Amino acid sequence: MKFRLPRPRDLAHALRDTARARPEEAEEYLEAHRLEWEALAESTPADAADILEALPEDTAAGLIGDLTLSDAADVLDEMQPATAADLLEEMTPGDAADLLEEMQTDHAADVVSELEDRSRTEIFDELEQLAADEVQALLAYAPDSAGGLMGTDVTTLPLGITAGEAIESLRRMSEEQSISYVFVTDLHGTLHGVVSFRDLVFARPGTGLDEVMVANPVSVHTSTDREEVAELIQRYHLLALPVVDDAGRVVGLVRFGDAMAAAQEEASEDLAQLVGAGAEETISTPVLLSVRRRLPWIIVNLAIGLMLAAVIGRFESTIERNAVLIGYLPLASLLGGNSGAQSLAVLIRAMAVGEIPQSRMWRVIRQQLTIGSINGLVVAALAGTIAGLTAGALKPGLVVGIAVVTDLVVAGLAGSGIPLLLKRLGLDPALAANIFLTFVTDMVGFGTFLIVASVLL
């Protein structure tokens, strides 16, 4: 079967989009144009990774096998660790080990962590001892820590040498080693400074390295949380951040790209937790595991619903006397829930990227309270007018308007105050804030509506 694949200027993007929409066509094209595939993988490994992730595992493994070892490793470095692990399991242990040795050590460790136990054992038996030790060392760190993010390909130079001697040392290093910063250490490996490659090149050859370097650079411990790592890299506009152990020795570095990927993953986990899905859950998570993670939060919402039913039941006589209001009963809680969720989303995002220092907490709460109040007045006027016109009387409109404005004001306060309070208590705001917000807005919305209706009608 022959087909004509669209050929825009960027072949990589065309193949990537085709692989996502029609994987069988992309597979056929790549099988027939191996040279183009090899050139694509060499020039744009990230796009090649996207293409492979959309193809069947056996096909993707075959295409990886057509590449040079270096190009194949570059492509695997760009893939999701779980997908890359699936591809390695399609290969012989020896071929998989060769690829892992060629990959960046931190990415190789991420991939190994996703391998089945049997495959991991077989592949480790084929790894060179040095590579196996480096991967094992990284696997000992928590995945969401600086140690779990760092790579071990650190460029260090000793104190006491000159800029000229430093450049000569760098010339003797592997051409494949990526050098963004050079870290200056003492004989024990303790971090003393950092120098950029640019500053080193432009320094006079006889200048001491300690005169060129920036002393006491920003660094993190291996146990530092990945959110803080990403925040520091963004704040100080760094290309990489050194990681030190308990003794202050340099053991690795976190690259800008890895830190930003971790920050994106953290934001995705917060979003999943915000709606009651597990932070680790993906579309490939087994059904029963997903059910087990989600069900507790659904049961919590069931409990909230039962409490609301009990509240409504206490106003049975009010509802019977004013049947026309039943249709407006959910209005206040729905609008309040939406308004509160908006404040909550803004706060969760701001907290994730470190935008809210302790000194600004009350200002943030006042701001969200003001926004909720203004929105509440506007929406209450609209909702109250519509309710009054529909009922043909003023009081039903007042009931709806008062309930709406009250709930939106409380929603602004709750949407900003709850996550800040949870963080102050040492709890994860993304995990629990939405449950508390739902409880508050529903209780206030239904309660205010029914109490005002009892008084006015």
Average pLDDT across the chain, whole number:
84
pLDDT of residue 53: 87
Average pLDDT estimate for 198-216: 90
Residue 133: inside a domain: yes
- Selected residue with higher pLDDT from 176 and 25: 25
pTM of the model: 0.64
CB-side exposure of 255: number of CA atoms within 13 Å? Answer: 15
Sheet holding 156-158, edge to edge: 156-158, 181-185, 191-196, 214-215
63 and 108 co-located in one domain:
yes
Average pLDDT estimate for 70-93: 91
Domain end among 113, 147, 181? 147
Instruction: Read off φ and ψ for residue 208, nearest 5 degrees.
Output: -65, 145
Residue 5: inside a domain: no
Tokens of 447: 């309660």
Under DSSP, is residue 195 helix (H, G, I), strand (E, B) or coil?
Answer: strand
> What is the CATH number for 400?
1.10.357.20
Residue 278: inside a domain: no
427 and 306 co-located in one domain:
yes
255 and 305 co-located in one domain:
no
pLDDT of residue 4: 47
Residue 273: inside a domain: no
Cα separation, 332 vs 321, in Å, equals 20
Which of the 8 DSSP states describes residue 359? Answer: G
Domain end among 265, 295, 314? 265
Cα separation, 148 vs 225, in Å, equals 10
259 and 395 co-located in one domain:
no
pLDDT of residue 284: 61
Please report which confidence band the pLDDT of residue 304 belongs to, taking 50, 70 and 90 as the band edges: confident
88 and 200 co-located in one domain:
no
- CA dist 44 → 51, 86, 125 (Å): 11, 21, 32
Q: What is the pLDDT of residues 423-436, one digit of tens each?
A: 777 777 766 677 88
110 and 41 co-located in one domain:
yes
Domain end among 265, 297, 321? 265
Q: Is the pLDDT of residue 141 over 70?
A: yes
Q: Is the pLDDT of residue 352 over 60?
A: yes
Q: Decide: 448 and 407 in contact? Cβ < 8 Å.
A: yes
139 and 208 co-located in one domain:
no
Q: Is the pLDDT of residue 127 over 50?
A: yes
Which of the 8 DSSP states describes residue 393? Answer: S
Q: How many domains does the chain have?
A: 3
Q: What is the pLDDT of residues 276-294, one digit of tens each?
A: 555 555 666 677 877 777 7
Please report which confidence band the pLDDT of residue 181 belongs to, taking 50, 70 and 90 as the band edges: confident
Residue 292: inside a domain: yes
Point out the least confidently predicted range of 134-138, 162-166, 313-317, 373-377.
313-317
Q: Is the pLDDT of residue 24 over 70?
A: yes
Structural domain boundaries enclosing 402? 287-456
252 and 291 co-located in one domain:
no
Residue 161: inside a domain: yes
Residue 3: inside a domain: no
Strands annotated E in 13-149: none
- Sign of the C-alpha dihedral, residues 347, 349, 353, 355? negative
119 and 244 co-located in one domain:
no
Q: Decide: 162 and 209 in contact? Cβ < 8 Å.
A: yes
CA dihedral 25, 26, 32, 38 (to 10 degrees): 180
pLDDT of residue 353: 61
92 and 209 co-located in one domain:
no
Cα separation, 219 vs 238, in Å, equals 11
> What is the CATH number for 238?
3.10.580.10
Residue 377: inside a domain: yes
175 and 67 co-located in one domain:
no
Point out the least confidently predicted range of 66-80, 89-103, 236-250, 268-282.
268-282
Share of the chain above pLDDT 90, in %: 27
> What is the CATH number for 128?
1.25.60.10
Q: Decide: 149 and 254 in contact? Cβ < 8 Å.
A: yes
Please report which confidence band the pLDDT of residue 406 belongs to, taking 50, 70 and 90 as the band edges: very high
301 and 448 co-located in one domain:
yes
Q: What is the pLDDT of residues 214-264, one digit of tens each?
A: 999 999 999 999 888 988 998 898 889 999 999 999 999 999 988 888 877
Q: Is the pLDDT of residue 147 over 90?
A: yes
Cα separation, 405 vs 227, in Å, equals 37
**Helix-helix angle 69-78:93-102, to 10 degrees:** 80
